[in-house]
């Protein structure tokens, strides 16, 4: 089979965690950017989007939609999903918490100005008092380099990704968490991850509110 083909906008959105997982697995992928409403309409009309939505990834003869389904398939295929049911259950639990935090931070840039202050305060509080403590505790509890099974799994990649978003959001939030800071450096120096962190990789930069509003208006989403 050829390289996976990722269909999405030229932005982080829901596709960025998929880009991260493929890159960490050392899998080269192609991207077909949706650059106009016509592009999205064509994908829909050709029957390529099961729910008329993207992300959609062409992989192994399938046209997979739904972010989590795509992540699950990639993690399974590249042995990044633990060695048994219990490891997979922990990976799922940790991954869902990370996705909740990613969503909470990612939505801030879109929230109405009159709600921004309160939502930012809440996101900082949850980051500092709910999510980061939970993962610091996991690392402290087993003293291993990775979150689950003492080897790299998808959840280490998801955690690194969100730690970078926390750093963009407010780097001081990481200060009270030495194990997470060491984890961030350790995972960032894995060869595939290091390469993805270099300029010129397929990793996407943050977008400001204006860019997102323009994109949403253009794509009518």
Ligand X SMILES: N[C@@H](CCC(=O)N[C@@H](CS(=O)(=O)O)C(=O)NCC(=O)O)C(=O)O
State the residues that interact with ligand X by CB under 6 A. 13-14, 52-55, 66-67, 221
Minimum Å gap between C-beta 55 and ligand X is 5
- For the chain, the farthest-separated pair of C-alpha atoms sits apart, in whole angstroms, at 52
Minimum Å gap between C-beta 106 and ligand X is 11
If the CB atoms of residues 50 and 182 are measured against ligand X, the closer one turns out to be 50
What residues contact residue 147 under an 8 Å CB cut-off, 6+ apart?
A: 90, 91, 94, 135, 138, 139, 153, 155, 156, 159
If the CB atoms of residues 13 and 97 are measured against ligand X, the closer one turns out to be 13
Pair 82, 147: CB distance under 8 Å: no
How many other C-beta atoms lie within 10 A of the C-beta of residue 102? 20
If the CB atoms of residues 56 and 163 are measured against ligand X, the closer one turns out to be 56
Minimum Å gap between C-beta 9 and ligand X is 6
| Residue at shortest CB range from ligand X | 53
Cis peptide before 55 (omega within 30 of 0): yes
Minimum Å gap between C-beta 15 and ligand X is 7
Pair 30, 6: CB distance under 8 Å: yes
If the CB atoms of residues 107 and 115 are measured against ligand X, the closer one turns out to be 107
């Amino acid at each position: 089979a050829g390289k996976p083909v990722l269909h999405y906008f030229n932005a982080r959105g829901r596709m960025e965690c998929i880009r991260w997982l493929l890159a960490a697995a050392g899998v080269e992928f192609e991207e077909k950017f949706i650059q106009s409403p016509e592009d999205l309409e064509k994908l829909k009309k050709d029957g390529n989007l099961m729910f008329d939505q993207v992300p959609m990834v062409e992989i192994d003869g399938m046209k997979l939609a739904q972010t989590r389904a795509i992540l699950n398939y990639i993690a399974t295929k590249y042995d990044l999903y633990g060695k048994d049911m219990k490891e997979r259950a922990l990976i799922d639990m940790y991954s869902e918490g990370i996705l909740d935090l990613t969503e909470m931070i990612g939505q801030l840039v879109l929230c109405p100005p009159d709600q921004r202050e309160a939502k930012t305060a809440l996101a900082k509080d949850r980051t500092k008092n709910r999510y980061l403590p939970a993962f610091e505790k996991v690392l402290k509890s087993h003293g291993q380099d990775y979150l689950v099974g003492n080897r790299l799994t998808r959840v280490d990649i998801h955690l690194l990704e969100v730690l970078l978003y926390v750093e963009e959001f407010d780097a001081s939030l990481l200060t009270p968490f030495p194990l997470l800071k060491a984890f961030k450096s350790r995972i960032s120096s894995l060869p595939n991850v290091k390469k993805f962190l270099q300029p010129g990789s397929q990793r996407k930069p943050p977008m400001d509110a204006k860019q997102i509003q323009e994109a949403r208006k253009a794509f009518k989403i």
